[in-house]
C-alpha cells in the first residue's frame, strides 16, 4: 500500500508541475489566465490581464499594455491613454499532502525480542501563491492629442512583442 501511495503522490506532483509550471502566456482568458476586454464606449475599453502563480507583475502589466495597443489598432485607433489603472494580487496557499512510512527491524535473543523502528514523514510543505491581476481603462485616439501622455500603439506592439519573443503574423 505504501508504494502505491508514493507513486500516486509522485504522479500528482508531476501533473501539477507540468500543468502549472509555466507563467501565463499571452493569450485570451483561459484556465491558466490571460487577457480579456470590455468595451465601455466607442473608444473606451477596460483591458484586464490575469496571471497565474508563475507570472510576474511586470509581465502581467506589459501584457495588459500589449493587449491595449492591439485593441486600439483593431478598432481603428493609433494612440491610447490609460485613464484608470489597477493592479492587485490574488493570494492563496497550497499545502502538499503528508505521508509517513515506518520501517522496523526486529530480532530475538532468547525469550526476548528487540528492535527499532524509524518513521519518515514526507510532504506537509505550504506554498504561498500570488496571482497578479492588472486592469487598465483606456481611452483611444485616432490622432496624437496635444498636452497629455498617450501610448503609440504600433510602437508599443513592436516593443513588447520583441521583449517577450511574441511572433506577430504580419496582419497586426
pLDDT of residue 24: 81
pLDDT at 32 > cutoff 90: no
Quote the cell numbers at residue 76: 481603428
Asked, for residue 53, whether it belongs to a domain, the answer is yes
Inside any domain, residue 20? no
Is 82 within a domain? yes
Which domain range does residue 69 map to? Answer: 25-90+130-164
Q: What is the pLDDT of residues 98-139, one digit of tens each?
A: 999 999 999 888 888 899 999 999 888 999 999 999 999 999
Helix 57-74 vs helix 153-164: crossing angle, to nearest 10: 140
Q: What total of structural domains would you count in the chain?
A: 1
64: in domain: yes
Name which residue leads in pLDDT, 155 or 29. Answer: 155
Which SS3 state, helix, strand or coil, does residue 61 take?
helix
Distances (CA, A) of 120 to 11, 18, 42, 76: 20, 27, 64, 64
pLDDT at 60: 97
Give the global pTM: 0.73
Q: Is residue 152 part of a domain?
A: yes
Amino acid at each position: 500500500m505504501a508504494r502505491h501511495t508514493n507513486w500516486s503522490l509522485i504522479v500528482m506532483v508531476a501533473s501539477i508541475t507540468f500543468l502549472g509550471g509555466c507563467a501565463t502566456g499571452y493569450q485570451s482568458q483561459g484556465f491558466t489566465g490571460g487577457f480579456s476586454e470590455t468595451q465601455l464606449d466607442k473608444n473606451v475599453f477596460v483591458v484586464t490581464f490575469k496571471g497565474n502563480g508563475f507570472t510576474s507583475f511586470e509581465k502581467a502589466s506589459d501584457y495588459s499594455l500589449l493587449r491595449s495597443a492591439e485593441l486600439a489598432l483593431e478598432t481603428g485607433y493609433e494612440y491610447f491613454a490609460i485613464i484608470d489603472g489597477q493592479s492587485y494580487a490574488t493570494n492563496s496557499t497550497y499545502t502538499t499532502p503528508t505521508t509517513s512510512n515506518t520501517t522496523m527491524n526486529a530480532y530475538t535473543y532468547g525469550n526476548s525480542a528487540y528492535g527499532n523502528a524509524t518513521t519518515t514523514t514526507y510532504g506537509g510543505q505550504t506554498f504561498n501563491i500570488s496571482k497578479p491581476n492588472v486592469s487598465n481603462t483606456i481611452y483611444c485616439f485616432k490622432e496624437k492629442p496635444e498636452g497629455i501622455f498617450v501610448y503609440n500603439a504600433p510602437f508599443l506592439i513592436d516593443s513588447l512583442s520583441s521583449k517577450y519573443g511574441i511572433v506577430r503574423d504580419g496582419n497586426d
